[in-house]
């Protein structure tokens, strides 16, 4: 009864928002969510933080997984529709009818373009109840506490083996009747605007469960939420729903063949996609290049690193003056005599090629002063934080692995992660910080300079050059020349 009353509160708040014509934007959604969470806590469904005896890790590990309640899904779908569907002018092309799969267990795989992708997948599936897999660290954030609980979201520690996740997936696909579950095989939202390769073991997991697999391609999602900017830029999003595998086809394919097909079918490049469509993505203040140095850190003309600055509509090298302006369609226009790639994704890929050359040197190393962030042991993170400052020191990467040497909660501390255990790092919100795991513990690093993307490329290419299993796409050419305007 208490839980039902809490759901009624959600519906009431949503109805009230429409009655009073509250603007349906992200700020409004956050406000409504806070009110609902407070109401949920007030009826006793959520334990107060002071009364918690378990650690946060224990709470996350004890999450109960079952199918999403139909009514709850309908409410959440209405929230998503109000906040995302109309502002993003969502257009859906369905090559299959989701209703044809309503009496079957279904696994959905989608490219990960933005933090709105959960809503986009929901739209593509005609709002069928879906269990999602989400990053484990997000379960520590207060603002997701309620929605993850009622949505029965499955936690996953990104880029490390996690048996609880597999058990949760098995619960939905094998034990629940006609369960529907969605994953993003690349593991995190793209930084470049183009889908990155699926994580190790994707093909093995899909073959193991052997159910119908539907694919969702999301076009334009990154342009709404670029990795270098926390402010949304609402504009056109196009979705495609299609069948990728049947149980019968999975039996005839190897794990490698399955993984390659997933990579091919889900590959999307939003910059290339919009180059012909020329949809506009509005940022109210017009500062379309703001903070672009978080992703594009290397100058294509003089080669200087960490001297790019994105301010207003312009990104420019402080060393040589090379630069460009960017408009609401993400078109780059070079400043006079500048050397500028054809689009930001081409710029990003060039940086990867340059990093590949650097890490190929056996003596490669890079280091920087960073702030260390950790998860609080007994409390949820509030005010959009993803960790709490716990120390500072030097982060160092070489071809052996990643080492942090500094302080932790006032004491000297060193941790080393061998290269075979870290094939990428996560930039969860924007490019200002990143995180990884060491022996199962979440570690967040904030560099002094806007270098998180540089660290990400370096970690990935060190892993690959040294023979790691997680490869780039077979069609990615490390020797390709830079394409400029």
Of the residues 46, 62, 78, the one at which a domain ends: 46
What lies within 8 Å, CB to CB, of 402 at 6+ separation is 395, 396, 416, 417, 419, 422, 436, 459
What CATH number does residue 462 fall under? 2.30.29.30
- 332: tokens are 């780059």
Task: Examine the domain organization and report whether 266 and 292 are in the same domain.
Answer: no
Task: Examine the domain organization and report whether 313 and 409 are in the same domain.
Answer: no
Task: Examine the domain organization and report whether 199 and 159 are in the same domain.
Answer: yes
Of the residues 340, 361, 381, the one at which a domain ends: 340
Q: Phi then psi for 338, rounded to 5 degrees?
A: -90, 155
Task: Examine the domain organization and report whether 291 and 203 are in the same domain.
Answer: no
Q: What angle do CA 103, 107, 108 make, to 5 degrees?
A: 115
Task: Examine the domain organization and report whether 403 and 257 are in the same domain.
Answer: no
Full residue range of the structural domain in which residue 318 is found: 285-340
pLDDT given at position 161: 85
What is the full DSSP assignment across 216-256?
A: EEEESHHHHS-TT-SS--B---EEEEEEEE-HHHHHTS-HH
Cα 310 from Cα 390, distance rounded (Å): 30
- Is pLDDT at 42 greater than 50 in this prediction? no
Task: Examine the domain organization and report whether 210 and 317 are in the same domain.
Answer: no
- Is pLDDT at 273 greater than 80 in this prediction? yes
Mean pLDDT over residues 352-376, rounded? 98
Task: Examine the domain organization and report whether 133 and 241 are in the same domain.
Answer: yes
Q: pLDDT of 365-408, one tens digit each?
A: 999 999 999 999 999 999 999 999 999 999 999 999 999 999 99
- Is pLDDT at 49 greater than 80 in this prediction? no
Q: pLDDT of 109-162, one tens digit each?
A: 999 999 999 999 999 999 899 999 999 999 999 999 999 999 999 999 999 888
Name the domain count of the chain.
4
Q: pLDDT of 151-196, one tens digit each?
A: 999 999 999 888 999 999 999 999 999 999 999 999 999 999 999 9
- Is pLDDT at 18 greater than 90 in this prediction? no
pLDDT given at position 378: 94
pLDDT given at position 334: 98
Task: Examine the domain organization and report whether 335 and 358 are in the same domain.
Answer: no
Using CB atoms within 10 Å of the CB of residue 342, give its burial: 0 to 12 exposed, 13 to 18 middle, 19+ buried. Answer: middle
Confidence band, pLDDT 50/70/90 cuts, at residue 20: very low
Cα 36 from Cα 176, distance rounded (Å): 29
To the question of pTM greater than 0.85 for the whole model, the response is: yes
Cα 36 from Cα 16, distance rounded (Å): 12
C-alpha 302: how far from chain center? 32
SS3 for 368-432, per residue?
EEEEEEECCCCCCECCCCCCEEEEEEEEEEECCEEEEEEEECCEEEEEEEEHHHCCCCECCCCCC
Of the residues 340, 358, 380, the one at which a domain ends: 340
Cα 404 from Cα 394, distance rounded (Å): 6
Task: Examine the domain organization and report whether 468 and 446 are in the same domain.
Answer: yes
Q: pLDDT of 432-470, one tens digit each?
A: 999 999 999 999 999 999 999 999 999 999 999 999 999
- Is pLDDT at 13 greater than 50 in this prediction? no
Q: Phi then psi for 233, rounded to 5 degrees?
A: -130, 90
- Is pLDDT at 431 greater than 80 in this prediction? yes
Q: Phi then psi for 434, rounded to 5 degrees?
A: -150, 165
Q: pLDDT of 196-216, one tens digit each?
A: 999 999 999 999 999 999 999
Cα 472 from Cα 316, distance rounded (Å): 29
| Whether 323 contacts 310, CB under 8 Å | no
What lies within 8 Å, CB to CB, of 222 at 6+ separation is 113, 114, 189, 190, 193, 270
What CATH number does residue 182 fall under? 3.40.1130.10
Task: Examine the domain organization and report whether 79 and 173 are in the same domain.
Answer: yes
- The pLDDT mean for the chain works out to 90
Task: Examine the domain organization and report whether 368 and 435 are in the same domain.
Answer: yes
Q: What is the DSSP letter of 96?
A: S
What is the largest distance, in Å, between two alpha-carbon atoms of the chain? 69
Tally of residues, the chain: 485
Task: Examine the domain organization and report whether 261 and 131 are in the same domain.
Answer: yes
Tell me which residue of 247, 246, 270, 245 sits closest to 259, measured CA to CA. Answer: 245
What stretch of H or E contains 324? strand 323-326
- Is pLDDT at 25 greater than 60 in this prediction? no
- 186: tokens are 């690349």
- Is pLDDT at 291 greater than 80 in this prediction? yes
Confidence band, pLDDT 50/70/90 cuts, at residue 53: confident
Of 159-168, 233-242, 266-275, the range with the lowest mean pLDDT is 159-168
Q: pLDDT of 56-103, one tens digit each?
A: 999 999 999 999 999 999 999 999 999 999 999 999 999 999 999 999
pLDDT given at position 4: 45
């Amino acid at each position: 009864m208490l839980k039902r009353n809490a759901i009624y509160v959600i519906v009431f708040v949503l109805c009230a928002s429409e009655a009073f014509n509250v603007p349906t934007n992200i700020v409004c959604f956050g406000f409504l969510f806070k009110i609902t969470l407070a109401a949920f806590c007030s009826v006793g469904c959520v334990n107060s933080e002071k009364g918690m005896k378990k650690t946060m890790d224990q709470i996350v590990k004890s999450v109960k997984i079952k199918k999403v309640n139909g009514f709850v899904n309908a409410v959440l779908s209405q929230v998503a529709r109000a906040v995302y569907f109309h502002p993003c002018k969502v257009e859906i092309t369905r090559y299959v009818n989701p209703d044809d799969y309503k009496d079957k267990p279904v696994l959905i795989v989608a490219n990960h373009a933005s933090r709105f992708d959960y809503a986009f997948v929901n739209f593509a599936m005609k709002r069928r109840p879906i269990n999602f897999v989400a990053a484990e660290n997000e379960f520590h954030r207060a603002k997701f506490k309620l929605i993850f609980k009622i949505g029965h979201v499955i936690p996953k520690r990104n880029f490390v083996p996690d048996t609880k996740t597999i058990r949760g997936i098995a619960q939905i696909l094998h034990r629940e009747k006609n369960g529907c579950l969605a994953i993003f095989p690349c593991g995190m939202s793209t930084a470049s605007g183009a889908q990155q390769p699926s994580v190790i073991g994707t093909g093995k997991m899909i073959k193991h469960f052997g159910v119908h697999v539907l694919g969702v391609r999301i076009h334009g999602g990154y342009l709404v939420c670029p990795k270098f900017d926390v402010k949304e830029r609402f504009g056109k999003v196009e979705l495609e729903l299609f069948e990728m595998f049947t149980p019968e086809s999975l039996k005839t394919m190897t794990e490698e063949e399955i993984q390659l097909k997933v990579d091919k079918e889900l590959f999307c490049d939003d910059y290339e996609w919009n180059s012909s469509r020329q949809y506009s993505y509005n940022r109210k203040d017009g500062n379309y290049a703001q903070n672009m140095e978080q992703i594009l850190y290397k100058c294509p003309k003089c080669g200087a690193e960490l001297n790019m600055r994105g301010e207003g509509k312009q990104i420019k090298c402080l060393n040589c003056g090379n630069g460009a302006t960017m408009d609401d369609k993400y078109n780059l226009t070079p400043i006079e005599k500048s050397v500028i790639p054809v689009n930001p994704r081409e710029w990003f890929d060039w940086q990867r090629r340059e990093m590949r050359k650097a890490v190929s040197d056996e003596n490669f190393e890079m280091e920087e002063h960073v702030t260390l962030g950790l998860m609080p042991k007994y409390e949820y993170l509030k005010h959009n934080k993803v960790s709490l400052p716990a120390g500072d020191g030097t982060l160092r990467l070489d071809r052996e692995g990643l080492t942090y040497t500094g302080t932790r909660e006032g004491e000297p501390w060193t941790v080393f992660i061998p290269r075979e255990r870290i094939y990428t790092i996560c930039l969860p919100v924007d490019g200002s910080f990143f995180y990884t795991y060491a022996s199962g513990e979440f570690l967040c690093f904030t560099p002094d300079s806007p270098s998180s993307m540089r660290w990400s490329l370096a970690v990935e290419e060190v892993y690959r050059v040294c023979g790691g299993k997680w490869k780039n796409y077979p069609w990615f050419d490390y020797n390709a020349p830079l394409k400029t305007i």
